Amino acid sequence: MTADPSTTDRDVTDPRGSDSGVTEPRGTARLPVWALALAAVASIASVLVALALLGGESLPERNGPPVEDVAVERAVVLPGVIELTLRNIGPDPVQIAQAFVNDGYVDFSGGTDPINRLDTTTVRLDYPWQDGQPYLISLLTSTGVVIEHEIPAAVATPAPGGVLGLMALLGTYVGIIPIALGMMVLPVLRRVGPNAVRVLLALTVGLLAFLALDSSIEAIELGGRSGGAFGGPSLVVLGAGLAFLALTAVDRILRTRRDRSGAEGAAGLRLAVMIAVGIGLHNLGEGLAIGSAYAVGELALGAFLVIGFALHNTTEGIAIVAPLAQQRPSLVQLAALGLLAGGPAILGAMLGAAVNNAELSALLLGVGVGAIAQVIVQIAPALRARSGQALSPATIGGITAGLLIMYLTSLLVTA
């Protein structure tokens, strides 16, 4: 038999060889991948720049009056003076023409120059305010738009430098000390059996779930008050998503190191670290909210506040040591876990009193929500009983007890 020339001359695809039989266009085959990607990005950027420069010229001008939208981000009350920090969240520049306090005209400075989009300015009102009195501030723009901000009860804003030490002390009271108290139950947990440990982990899930829900509600409220210049409530989703992904990556790294080392007890310590990180990020946002509330006079410090937060956060210490019930961690490891979970409350309180930014508070509270959600995902497999049942009556009771404990202790937190 003679071979068919049509088959002998045909290109044969060999997956093991370098010749695939596919002919690539000349020029592109010789270029590296990074050069092709750079060329594609440059082409897209060139078209977008051309659209920005030339596209607007081909469109008609907008009809109607200017669109002015201004958010009051912060109010600082000083002796004889009220200062408002304004941010232009609208598309057009804004100029402040007149200022009124309780329908009375007052002298002011700042805001007379155009405030461009997303820029901020400080308007200083000369007004002899009285302590504890309510005030409605109205700012009239050059086009007649009225910007209002209400101060329910005027209280002198404390100086940031003089309050940082107080915020550090408060963060220690509501963060580190309660968590350390909760971790002291570890010797008791060592005497319980596997079923009791599973119930304790279910209790931890209930505690964390309540923290996530409570933080979500507070973060969305803060995001709504921010004016929406940087996304408002969407900052909560952004922070939660980034925290969830970051902690997932950290968990993968810790899991890989544990598998390589083969150390016994590493799984429980890894889970305890993840719980401490999640609670720490939550306490960072909680401390930020405490510091911000105190800075604007919305938080009254006292024994009830400290006791309420102490009881509320003591359960967080129990949640951290629950995975360590069958292990014997060192004192150094326990101290590190306590600082990891409670220390951020100090940083958050100091930062909140000094900065007092609604967007930052919403973002960090969202970070706490995402971190807690990731920790719950980590704990969930440990709730499965030996029979394979995902949720036994005991674990359901533990989750319910955790929710009720956090709810009842949150009622003791008085502002």
Mean pLDDT for the stretch of residues 344-351? 87
Does the pLDDT of residue 22 top 60, yes or no?
A: no
171 in the same domain as 300: yes
Is position 406 within any domain?
A: yes
Verify that 254 and 288 share a domain, yes or no. yes
Q: What is the pTM of this model?
A: 0.65
Beta-bridge partner residues of 87: 71, 120
Is the same domain home to 318 and 176? Answer: yes
Query: Which pLDDT score, from 0 to 100, does residue 301 have?
Result: 59
Shared domain for 236 and 369, answered yes or no, is yes
Same domain for 180 and 103: no
Residue 117 lies in a domain: yes
Q: Does 204 share its domain with 102?
A: no
CA 150-126-78 angle, 5° bins:
70
Across 355-362, average pLDDT:
72
d(CA 47, CA 406): 55
pLDDT class for 298, splitting at 50, 70, 90?
A: low
The percent of residues above 90 in pLDDT, for the chain, comes to 13
My answer on whether 323 and 370 are in the same domain is yes
Q: Which of 116, 134, 151 is where one domain is finished?
A: 151
CA angle 396–401–406, rounded 5-degree value:
135
8 Å CB contact between 151 and 72: no
Which one is predicted more confidently, 250 or 238? 238
* Residue-averaged pLDDT of the chain: 79
Instruction: Report pLDDT digits (tens) over 77-90.
Output: 889 999 998 888 88
The reply to whether 249 and 331 lie within a common domain is: yes
- Phi/psi for 333 (5° steps) reads -65, -40
Give start and end residues of each alpha helix (H) in 143-233. 160-171, 177-183, 186-189, 194-225
Domains in the chain, number: 2
- What's residue 154's pLDDT? 85
pLDDT band at 100 (very low <50, low <70, confident <90, very high): very high
Do 185 and 221 sit in the same domain of this protein? yes
Tens-digit pLDDT profile for residues 132-180: 889 999 999 988 889 898 888 888 877 666 677 888 888 888 889 989 9
pLDDT at 367: 84
378: in domain? yes
Q: How far apart are CA 4 and CA 150, in angstroms?
A: 91
For 254-286, how does the pLDDT look when each residue is reduced to its tens digit (9 = 90+)? 777 766 655 555 677 888 888 888 888 888 877
Per-residue pLDDT averaged across 364-371, rounded?
A: 82
Domain final residue pick, 101, 127, 151: 151
Strands 104-105 and 96-101, bridge-based pairing: antiparallel
Q: Report whether pLDDT(300) > 80.
A: no
Q: Residue 245 sits in which domain range?
A: 160-410
Average pLDDT of span 44-71: 79
The CATH number linked to 138 is 2.60.40.1890
Domain contains 14: no
DSSP string, 269-312: HHHHHHHHHHHHHHHHHHHHHHHHHHHTT----SHHHHHHHHHH
> Structure tokens of 339?
């600082």
Q: Within this chain, do residues 147 and 165 fall inside the same structural domain, yes or no?
A: no
Confidence of residue 1 (pLDDT cuts 50, 70, 90): very low
State residue 89's pLDDT score.
84
Structure tokens at 247: 């902690």
Out of 118, 151, 184, a domain closes at: 151
Query: In whole angstroms, what is the distance from residue 151 CA to residue 376 CA?
Result: 40
- Token pair for 294: 């105190």
**Looking at the structure, do residues 393 and 350 belong to the same domain, yes or no?**
yes
Between these two residues, 51 and 24, which has the higher pLDDT value?
51
Q: Are residues 115 and 255 in the same domain?
A: no
**Is 62 part of any domain?**
no
Q: With a cut of 90, say whether residue 124 has pLDDT above it.
A: yes
* Residue 387 within a domain: yes
Q: Which residue has the tokens 């402040």?
A: 96
CA 79 to chain centre: 34
Q: At what angle do helices 303-321 and 266-295 cross, to 10 degrees?
A: 160
Tell me if 46 is assigned to some domain.
Answer: no
In a domain, 228, yes or no: yes
